[in-house]
A and B are shown apart, each in its own frame.
Chain A
Amino acid sequence: MYDLIFFLTLLSLGYFFGRIAEKRHFRSIIQREQQLRHILTFAKRYPLNATEPTQVALVSGNVVISLDYFKRIVAGLRSIVGGRVKAYETLVERARREAILRMKEEAQRLGAQAVINVKLETASIYKGQQQQVGSVEVYAYGTALY
């Protein structure tokens, strides 16, 4: 019985705080993406206009976002029946966009107009450990041109 109360408390804490954090984060991401729209990002490896002399620098952005208890339980249930793990999709989306934003912020400090050769690395923290609330790491890096 106490186990159930404990579980429901964790579940509602996870739901309410996780949801507040997620909404706030998405608002912030959309706003900052708007501010940094003028910095263009490319996956290609070579400068856009190779004839002009330009300075280059490595820029990167790194973010780690934790699961909440609610998401973990929903994903656990989902893993039994299969299908889109919607609870994790938002998490990965947030991490990816936040990492690119942080990279762009660094590029903006250098006065760059574009970042080329942008790559994303992702890692799961607490990988494979039972009874642990995991987190996702996304690392974005590229070559800023200024």
Chain B
Amino acid sequence: MKYSNPQIPEGINVSQEHPLKEFFILLAGVSAIVVAAVFVLALLAEWLVRFIPFETEAALVSDGFAETTLIDSQRSTGDQAIEDYLQALSDRLTEHMDLADGMSITVHYSDDDLVNAYATLGGHVVVYRGLLEKLNSENALAMVVAHEAAHIAHRDPIVAMGRGLTVGLALACITGFGDSGMSQQLLGQLSLFTALSFNRDQETEADRVAMRAVLAEYGHIEGAADLFELFKQQRGELMAPELLSTHPLDDSRIQAIEAFAHESKIRPGNRAEKNETTPLPEIILQLANDNSYN
């Protein structure tokens, strides 16, 4: 018997298709599916997370909240006085908001240069020294505190957390990096999620509620507009961008504020009808002075 070794044609086991073609088709298809799935999941999470009672939310973050970096170890006795003042201010303002039953707002002061304030899970609001140094009147500070309190009243932090965690977990499942290390990292970034991802509607709504509370407390919103002057100034200077990154300012927000001012017959910045602003207490003013000496 005679054996031979015929030449086998190429391309039987190997596809001649260009590898980039397959790559781009797969990439486009998978991205479209992932984006759609994540969008639906985010919507569902936002809807479902509102059913979590506030007490449960508070219990979630009660362990070791005070020991986190939010409230650092460099507190002096003066800081407690500032915190008490901020808490009292917040309590006065939240009386004019309809907080849900059992909801309480705790204000913390952080001795840090960041020009920022934020609301996070469990009804906690953090105000940084850097922001206090920039404000001119109690009315502007009241606007900040009321804005953050309004986020909590509207349950924005837990909605943002629910969305962030769901999207994060979904992506971790798809990419397959869902080991425990990744979940730890996710949980560690909870406060980051909640601080960063309020959307434009949530910001506008918080502005509206805050202005209503400030109006009810002081009878006018003079001085509160200073806050937005600070925003504008920061946008121009690109200095201390933290406030803008967590509270993006866009034209629709400014328009909403102006419309509110118009409705309440009070024009911010109209010097002819200027209302008296309440000055900041000495302990706050002292901060800016201390800093200028350094």
Interface residues of A (CB under 8 A from B): 15, 19, 30, 34, 37-38, 40, 42, 48, 70-71, 73-74, 77-78, 80-81, 84, 86-87, 89-90, 92-93, 114, 130
The smallest beta-carbon distance between B178 and chain A, in angstroms, is 10
Is residue B19 contacting chain A, with contact meaning CB distance below 8 A? yes
Residues of A within 8 A of B176 (CB): 130
Cβ of A86 and Cβ of B15 under 8 Å apart?
yes
In the complex, which of the residues A40, A70, A81 contacts B19, with contact meaning CB atoms closer than 8 Å?
A: A70
Is residue B51 contacting chain A, with contact meaning CB distance below 8 A? no
Is residue B40 contacting chain A, with contact meaning CB distance below 8 A? no
Enumerate B9-45 residues with CB–CB distance to A below 8 Å: 10, 13-15, 17, 19-20, 22-23, 26-27, 29-30
Docked pose: A35 CA to B132 CA in angstroms = 83
Cβ of B23 and Cβ of A30 under 8 Å apart?
no
Q: What total of chain B residues lie within 8 Å of the partner, measured CB to CB? A: 22
Cβ of A84 and Cβ of B15 under 8 Å apart?
yes
Q: List 9 A-B contacts (CB under 8 A).
A: A30-B10, A37-B5, A40-B3, A70-B19, A74-B23, A80-B30, A89-B14, A90-B14, A130-B179
Residues of B within 8 A of A87 (CB): 19, 22
In the complex, which of the residues B14, B23, B27, B177 contacts A93, with contact meaning CB atoms closer than 8 Å?
A: B14
Docked pose: A15 CA to B21 CA in angstroms = 12
Docked pose: A15 CA to B7 CA in angstroms = 30
Docked pose: A87 CA to B15 CA in angstroms = 9
Number of cross-chain contacts by CB at 8 Å: 53
Contact A77/B19 with A93-B13, A130-B176 known, Cβ cut-off 8 Å: no
Cβ of A77 and Cβ of B5 under 8 Å apart?
no
In the complex, which of the residues B5, B20, B174 contacts A40, with contact meaning CB atoms closer than 8 Å?
A: B5
Docked pose: A71 CA to B23 CA in angstroms = 9
In the complex, which of the residues B3, B15, B19 contacts A48, with contact meaning CB atoms closer than 8 Å?
A: B3
The smallest beta-carbon distance between B5 and chain A, in angstroms, is 5
Docked pose: A38 CA to B29 CA in angstroms = 48
Docked pose: A73 CA to B175 CA in angstroms = 11
Cβ of B26 and Cβ of A70 under 8 Å apart?
no
The smallest beta-carbon distance between B247 and chain A, in angstroms, is 22
Cβ of A70 and Cβ of B23 under 8 Å apart?
yes
Residues of A within 8 A of B13 (CB): 89, 92-93
Cβ of B30 and Cβ of A86 under 8 Å apart?
no
In the complex, which of the residues B20, B30, B177 contacts A77, with contact meaning CB atoms closer than 8 Å?
A: B30
Cβ of A74 and Cβ of B3 under 8 Å apart?
no
Cβ of A74 and Cβ of B19 under 8 Å apart?
yes
Cβ of B30 and Cβ of A74 under 8 Å apart?
no
